[in-house]
């Protein structure tokens, strides 16, 4: 039996464990990336582990999330990351150089290599044929120190593409179509492998749009083959030497195959407030639009920007629309400037924002109250834009521009203009001056790491006790995102390196009284519905509850990265054996878990609540049990090194 692409890359990196779905596999990690909003924690953890130099082939620290610097906090974080990177062997991409996933694709990604990043959209690099995973900062810190990355071996689903996208139908619409088919939990426990004859018609940046949004399916990763289009991209980036052809064997097997005919797709749009609420753009014709944003790690490549510029050239956006454009990297921005496309964008009335995440993570450009915002981004969770009652829709750059021009949701095909056709350039503008190399090992010892007063130590986890009796301080519903648990945005993001402070905002949009209640309770439980913790990789969504005394989260099911982050923080993620038991628990109940250690071994525990006994399940590997008993991955790693 032949191997699929995922099995091939995994087999080449398997250190121990098994490639059987559901079992734990330990992978060798070739590259890591961090961004600043999760990076400060990751490097504090790296320092706490005590490693001197990174042991990966390439580790890169990007600054792209917190670039507003509305106070000293972000500037201190940047300075800390720059100095810690230089000392420990990590490349540093300066603020303004671009969004981590875009720059990594351009300058560092290599087909067939493994990458983990402290950002859930790290699988973007799958567009280049990398096997890339989003992870918590602590997992990245351990991988930087040369440790393995452990995952529960996912099943592999193939998406078979046929045909070719028609004018004004884009890679974004392919992503939205798969979200429509599978939903935001359809990818959980799975890797999406893209294949079929239709793949040949997609360039690397288009493939990267698709692998980027695999995160919204809850998928562990997404990957494309590496072929002549990959070679063309790498060649144009001056990196032909990094090319390796990669494909699945013709007789490879998959859990299932989903077929998408590119010819049959039309422009799609995800409605508020979930990326899987997908309908045809034409079905929303006429809905008034207040704001349009083009950018984010999903759609900020040069070709996305050039298409937008071509549609805007010689036209003007509607007076009622406020439009922003944030190119994904300095490479993209300088090339737009060089060819005059930037001036087409500006003349049409768009506002130019920095090459950074910006409005995607609520760092400025929040919509007006109750406003309708069309964004080329990947997430439209309620409140994430910074405006609680805004209605955020997700679209392609083409649909975004069409709607900006008319002032209402518009299928670009109805504009009566020709669809822009933008071939991949034969050479990109290469200027790596925004990427600073690390110091050599001989100079590193002398270098000082620069800290600031907002940078506080990582909170220590506590070994999981054999019995927990505590209050259920917050009961939550289905699809709770990490944006619910630990919101981002301009007000809160500056505290990412200060867990005691950021914990004051935990569940702010859901129940602002939670932090005080949890603190008063001392220890407590949380209860959630299905897919608890979906979205971001931010380990703050585990560290803030840890700081507030949360000892266990009981849910119908968990999102992968968040469950790993809870374990890494020493918090028990447990599931109801029967989802209907969720209804038997009320906020304020006193819950008791006994014989926890034996239950962690056997996989079944009993929760006592309101005189009833509720069966719970868990499936921890022996390593995860040891981490929980040590009080988190940091304690576990330190103990292992003694």
Which of the listed partners (ligand SF4, ligand MIC, none) does 396 bind, with a CB threshold of 5 to 8 Å by partner kind?
A: none
Which of 153, 374 has the CB closer to ligand SF4? Answer: 374
Which of 63, 468 has the CB closer to ligand SF4? Answer: 63
Which of 380, 624 has the CB closer to ligand MIC? Answer: 380
Query: Interface with ligand MIC includes 104 (CB under 6 A)?
Result: no
* Residue 350: both structure tokens together: 């768009």
DSSP class of residue 244? -
Q: Which of 54, 401, 488, 614 binds ligand MIC (CB under 6 A)?
A: 488
Which of the listed partners (ligand MIC, ligand SF4, none) does 99 bind, with a CB threshold of 5 to 8 Å by partner kind?
A: ligand SF4
Rounded Cα gap, residues 428 and 110, in angstroms: 17
Q: Smallest Cα–Cα separation from 138: which of 25, 60, 48?
A: 48
Q: What is the dihedral of CA 72, 76, 77, 81, to 10 degrees?
A: 160
Rounded Cα gap, residues 6 and 249, in angstroms: 11
CB of residue 596 vs ligand MIC: minimum separation in angstroms? 30
Q: Which of 106, 119, 411, 581 binds ligand MIC (CB under 6 A)?
A: 119
Query: Interface with ligand SF4 includes 54 (CB under 6 A)?
Result: no
Which of the listed partners (ligand MIC, ligand SF4, none) does 222 bind, with a CB threshold of 5 to 8 Å by partner kind?
A: none
Kindly identify the residues of this chain, within the stretch 556-595, that bind ligand SF4 according to CB under 6 A. Answer: none
Which of 135, 350 has the CB closer to ligand MIC? Answer: 135
Residue 613 burial (C-beta neighbours within 10 Å; 0-12, 13-18, 19+): exposed
Q: Find the part of the chain contacting ligand MIC (CB under 6 A) among 114-122, 341-349, 550-558, 622-630.
A: 114-122
Query: Interface with ligand MIC includes 135 (CB under 6 A)?
Result: no
Q: 83 and 43 in contact (C-beta within 8 Å)? A: no
Q: 150 and 621 in contact (C-beta within 8 Å)? A: yes
Rounded Cα gap, residues 359 and 363, in angstroms: 5
Distances (CA, A) of 630 to 33, 464, 495, 519, 627: 27, 7, 27, 23, 5
Which of the listed partners (ligand MIC, ligand SF4, none) does 161 bind, with a CB threshold of 5 to 8 Å by partner kind?
A: none
Which of 76, 216 has the CB closer to ligand MIC? Answer: 216
Which of the listed partners (ligand MIC, ligand SF4, none) does 538 bind, with a CB threshold of 5 to 8 Å by partner kind?
A: ligand MIC
Rounded Cα gap, residues 599 and 614, in angstroms: 13
Q: Smallest Cα–Cα separation from 125: which of 248, 210, 43?
A: 210
Q: 223 and 253 in contact (C-beta within 8 Å)? A: no
3-state DSSP assignment of residue 508: coil
Query: Interface with ligand SF4 includes 132 (CB under 6 A)?
Result: no
Which of the listed partners (ligand SF4, ligand MIC, none) does 296 bind, with a CB threshold of 5 to 8 Å by partner kind?
A: ligand SF4
Query: Interface with ligand MIC includes 375 (CB under 6 A)?
Result: no
Q: Which of 378, 387, 406, 410 binds ligand SF4 (CB under 6 A)?
A: 378
* Residue 368: both structure tokens together: 């007006």
* Residue 25: both structure tokens together: 């596999």
Q: Which of 120, 387, 524, 531 binds ligand MIC (CB under 6 A)?
A: 120
Q: 627 and 542 in contact (C-beta within 8 Å)? A: no
Q: Which of 85, 161, 361, 530 binds ligand SF4 (CB under 6 A)?
A: 361
Q: What are the φ/ψ torsions at residue 264 (nearest 5 degrees)? A: -90, -5
Query: Interface with ligand MIC includes 361 (CB under 6 A)?
Result: yes
Report the greatest alpha carbon distance in the chain: 72
Which of 99, 309 has the CB closer to ligand SF4? Answer: 99
Q: Which of 292, 360, 468, 526 binds ligand SF4 (CB under 6 A)?
A: 360
Q: Find the part of the chain contacting ligand SF4 (CB under 6 A) among 230-238, 261-269, 354-362, 478-486.
A: 354-362
Q: 443 and 483 in contact (C-beta within 8 Å)? A: no
Query: Interface with ligand MIC includes 216 (CB under 6 A)?
Result: no
How many chain residues are in contact with ligand MIC, going by CB under 6 A? 13
Q: Find the part of the chain contacting ligand SF4 (CB under 6 A) among 355-363, 416-424, 433-441, 492-500.
A: 355-363
CB of residue 490 vs ligand MIC: minimum separation in angstroms? 13
How many chain residues are in contact with ligand SF4, going by CB under 6 A? 11
CB of residue 540 vs ligand MIC: minimum separation in angstroms? 7
Kindly identify the residues of this chain, within the stretch 530-559, that bind ligand MIC according to CB under 6 A. Answer: 535-538
CB of residue 359 vs ligand MIC: minimum separation in angstroms? 12
Q: What are the φ/ψ torsions at residue 572 (nearest 5 degrees)? A: -80, 120
Following DSSP, what letter does each residue of 431-499 receive, concatenated?
-GGGEEPPPPHHHHTTPPPP--TT--PPPPP-PPPS-EEEEEEEE--SS-BHHHHS--HHHHGGGTT-H
Query: Interface with ligand MIC includes 178 (CB under 6 A)?
Result: no
Q: What are the φ/ψ torsions at residue 32 (nearest 5 degrees)? A: -130, 155
Rounded Cα gap, residues 51 and 355, in angstroms: 32
Q: How many helices (H) and strands (E) does the chain have?
A: 22, 27
Q: Which of 65, 87, 180, 560 binds ligand MIC (CB under 6 A)?
A: 65
Q: 130 and 113 in contact (C-beta within 8 Å)? A: yes
Which of 87, 172 has the CB closer to ligand SF4? Answer: 172
Kindly identify the residues of this chain, within the stretch 288-327, that bind ligand SF4 according to CB under 6 A. Answer: 296-297
Which of 43, 254 has the CB closer to ligand MIC? Answer: 43
Rounded Cα gap, residues 35 and 553, in angstroms: 27
Query: Interface with ligand MIC includes 121 (CB under 6 A)?
Result: yes
Kindly identify the residues of this chain, within the stretch 15-44, that bind ligand MIC according to CB under 6 A. Answer: 37-38
CB of residue 296 vs ligand SF4: minimum separation in angstroms? 4
Rounded Cα gap, residues 231 and 128, in angstroms: 9
Which of 171, 297 has the CB closer to ligand MIC? Answer: 297
User: Does residue 17 come out as left (phi exceeding 0), alpha (psi in the -120 to 50 range) or beta?
Assistant: left
* Residue 186: both structure tokens together: 């359809």
Residues that bind ligand MIC (CB under 6 A): 37-38, 65, 119-121, 134, 361, 488, 535-538
Residues that bind ligand SF4 (CB under 6 A): 65, 99, 119, 121, 296-297, 357, 360-361, 377-378
């Amino acid at each position: 039996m032949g191997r699929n692409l995922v099995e091939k890359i995994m087999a080449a990196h398997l250190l121990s464990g098994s490639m059987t779905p559901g079992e734990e596999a330990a992978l060798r990690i070739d590259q890591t990336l961090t961004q600043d909003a999760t990076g400060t924690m990751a490097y504090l953890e790296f320092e706490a582990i005590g490693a001197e130099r990174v042991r990966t082939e390439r580790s890169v620290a990007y600054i792209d999330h917190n670039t507003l610097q509305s106070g000293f906090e972000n500037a201190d974080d940047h300075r800390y990351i720059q100095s810690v990177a230089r000392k420990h062997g990590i490349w540093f991409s300066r603020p303004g150089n671009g969004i981590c996933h875009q720059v990594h694709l351009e300058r560092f990604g290599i087909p067939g290599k493994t990458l983990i990043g402290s950002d859930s959209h790290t699988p973007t690099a799958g567009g280049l044929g990398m096997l890339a995973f989003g992870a918590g900062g602590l997992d990245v810190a351990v991988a930087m120190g040369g440790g393995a990355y452990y995952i529960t071996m996912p099943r592999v689903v193939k998406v078979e593409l046929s045909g070719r996208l028609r004018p004004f139908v884009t890679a974004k619409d392919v992503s939205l179509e798969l979200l429509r088919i599978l939903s935001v939990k359809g990818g959980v426990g799975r890797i999406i492998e893209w294949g079929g004859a239709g793949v040949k018609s997609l360039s690397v940046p288009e493939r990267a749009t698709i692998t980027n949004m695999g995160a919204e399916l809850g998928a562990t990763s997404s990957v494309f083959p590496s072929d002549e289009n990959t070679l063309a991209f790498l060649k144009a980036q001056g990196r032909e030497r990094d090319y390796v052809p990669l494909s699945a064997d013709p007789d490879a097997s998959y859990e299932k195959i989903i077929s998408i005919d590119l010819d049959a797709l039309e422009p799609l749009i995800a409605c508020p407030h979930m990326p899987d609420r997908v309908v045809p753009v034409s079905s929303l014709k006429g809905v008034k639009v207040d704001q349009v944003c083009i950018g984010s790690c999903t759609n900020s490549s040069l070709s996305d920007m050039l298409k937008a510029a071509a549609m805007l050239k010689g036209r003007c956006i509607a007076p009622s629309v406020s439009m922003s454009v944030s190119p994904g990297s300095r490479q993209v921005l300088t090339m737009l400037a060089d060819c005059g496309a930037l001036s087409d964008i500006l003349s049409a009335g768009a506002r130019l924002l920095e090459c950074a995440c910006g409005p995607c993570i609520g760092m400025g450009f929040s919509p007006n109250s109750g406003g309708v915002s069309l964004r080329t981004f990947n997430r439209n969770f309620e409140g994430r834009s910074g405006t609680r009652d805004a209605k955020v829709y997700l679209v392609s750059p083409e649909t975004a521009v069409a709607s900006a021009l008319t002032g209402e949701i518009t299928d670009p095909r109805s504009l009566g203009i020709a669809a822009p056709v933008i071939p991949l350039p034969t050479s990109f503008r290469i200027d790596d001056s925004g990427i600073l190399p690390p110091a050599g090992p001989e100079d590193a010892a002398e270098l000082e790491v620069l800290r600031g007063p907002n940078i506080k130590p990582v909170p220590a986890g506590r070994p999981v006790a054999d019995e927990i009796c505590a209050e259920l301080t917050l009961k939550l519903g289905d699809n709770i995102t990490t944006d619910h648990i630990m919101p981002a945005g301009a007000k809160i993001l500056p505290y990412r390196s200060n867990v005691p402070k950021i914990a004051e905002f935990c569940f702010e949009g859901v129940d602002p009284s939670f932090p005080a209640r949890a603190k008063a309770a001392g220890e407590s439980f949380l209860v959630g519905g299905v897919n608890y913790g979906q979205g971001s990789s931010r380990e703050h969504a585990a560290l803030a509850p840890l700081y507030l005394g949360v000892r266990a989260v009981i849910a119908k099911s968990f999102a992968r990265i968040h469950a790993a982050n809870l374990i890494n923080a020493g918090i028990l993620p447990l599931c109801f054996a029967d989802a209907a038991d969720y209804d038997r628990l009320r906020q304020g109940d006193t819950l008791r878990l006994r014989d926890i250690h034996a239950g962690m071994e056997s996989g079944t525990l009993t929760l006592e609540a309101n005189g009833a006994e509720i069966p719970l399940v868990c499936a921890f590997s022996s390593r995860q049990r040891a981490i929980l008993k040590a009080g988190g991955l940091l304690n576990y790693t330190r103990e292992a090194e003694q």
